[in-house]
Amino acid sequence: MMDIHKTLILQQEVTDLVIPVDHVAHVQLGNSLDHALLVLIKSGYSAVPVLDRAYRIHGLVSKTLILDYILGNERMEYEKLREHQVEEVMQTKFPRMKANGTFFRALELSINQPFLCIENQEGVFTGILTRRSILALVYRYFKEHKQQ
């Protein structure tokens, strides 16, 4: 019985857990570091996706990446915030998953990532999957099955 449940949870698609794109704070290619920092601070998130106009994902930008970039030898070089763009600092290697990917794959990728970017078959960004929602599902699963 337990094995059947285990298989089902691991093989289910992640679609239902995804925070949809219209609820995801993001920035666009060409945005200044100044704008990105504003989005990050106002949203309270440590990192957000960088998209193009067609909603394809190009990278992730974080407060840490921006602050590292403007860190000079003697002072913070704040002028760089207006002079430089997100593509100059963004992280371009990051895990991404198709919306029909399995929960097992999401669980594996989330070990090293607080959130995963989800895209459709055409490569268009559809939302994110957070480690929090993955863990919440695992917790509910164990709670429901702990006496079986």
> x/- contact string, 50-89, with ligand AMP (CB under 6 A)?
----------------------------------------
The nearer residue to ligand AMP, 77 or 113, going by C-beta atoms, is: 113
19 is a contact residue toward ligand AMP (CB under 6 A): yes
Long-range contacts of residues 103-109, Cβ cutoff 8 Å, at least 24 apart:
103/9, 103/10, 103/11, 103/12, 103/13, 103/14, 103/17, 103/134, 103/137, 104/10, 104/11, 106/14, 106/17, 106/134, 107/10, 107/134, 107/138
Among 70, 89, 115, 117, binds ligand AMP (CB under 6 A): 115
130 is a contact residue toward ligand AMP (CB under 6 A): yes
Footprint on this chain of ligand AMP (rule: CB under 6 A): 19, 23-25, 45-48, 114-115, 128, 130-132
